[in-house]
Amino acid sequence: MHKILVSGCLNGRPIRFNSTKVSVESDIWDRWESEGRLVAFCPELAAGFPVPRPPAEIVDSTASLVLGGRGRVEEDNGTDVTDLFVAGARLAADRAAAEGCVIAVLTDGSPSCGTTYTYDGTFSGGTVEGMGVTAQLLADQGLRVFPEDRLEEADRYLRSLGE
């Protein structure tokens, strides 16, 4: 059975930077859960961030540049947390490999888990197209990544892989 790495906050845990969760209400999600496919993982908690924590954004860069050592992630107070974000991404990739995950469903907008957009690094609420650090590393390693609002697309892809 193909497994699915999912952002920990999607599994009903209030572990986002501001102690909130993201609720997913979907028959697809419920089916995956009952089949035992979901592998919940928060790269930020795994890297050692507390809950709550200051907001962080990829600043003047992209996730690819961050992973390549030429970009950075900062908290809104200016603290550079790049190394922790990269460490969390590596831990997520290790977990996905160990569990046999073939896709990931992640929380869009996050500097870790964003799949289609992240915040623009100005802490003003603006966004830019692109992936977060964990999403980018997972994609680079061959996993298909989907935001939490594209479960139908993720399910079609998963079914195309067969069992």
pLDDT of residue 75: 98
CA distance 160 to 18: 37
112-138 pLDDT tens trace: 999 999 999 999 999 999 999 999 999
Q: Is residue 21 pLDDT above 90, yes or no? A: no
pLDDT of 163: 67
Please give the pLDDT value at position 61: 94
Q: How far apart are the C-alpha atoms of 136 and 142, rounded to whole Å? A: 10
Q: What's the average model confidence in pLDDT over 141-149?
A: 97
Residues comprising the chain, all counted: 163
Tally of domains within the chain? 1
Residue carrying structure tokens 């979901």: 38
The rounded percent of the chain whose pLDDT value lies above 70 is: 99
pLDDT per residue as tens digits for the range 74-96: 999 999 999 999 999 999 999 99
Indicate the pLDDT class of residue 53, thresholds 50, 70 and 90: very high
HEC string of the chain equals CCEEEEEHHHHCCCCCCCCCCCCCCCHHHHHHHHCCCEEEECHHHHCCCCCCCCCEEEECCCHHHHHCCCCEEEECCCCECHHHHHHHHHHHHHHHHHHCEEEEEECCECCCCCCCEEECCCCCCCEEECCCHHHHHHHHCCCEEEECCCHHHHHHHHHHCCC
Range of the domain at 115: 3-160
- Give residue 158's pLDDT: 96
The phi, psi pair for 122, rounded to 5°, reads: -105, -5
**Average pLDDT of the residues in 100-106:** 97
Given a contact cutoff of 8 angstroms between Cβ atoms, the answer to whether 10 and 108 are in contact is no
pLDDT tens, 9-20? 998 889 999 999
Supply the mean pLDDT for the chain: 96
At 28-44, the pLDDT tens digits run: 999 999 999 999 999 99
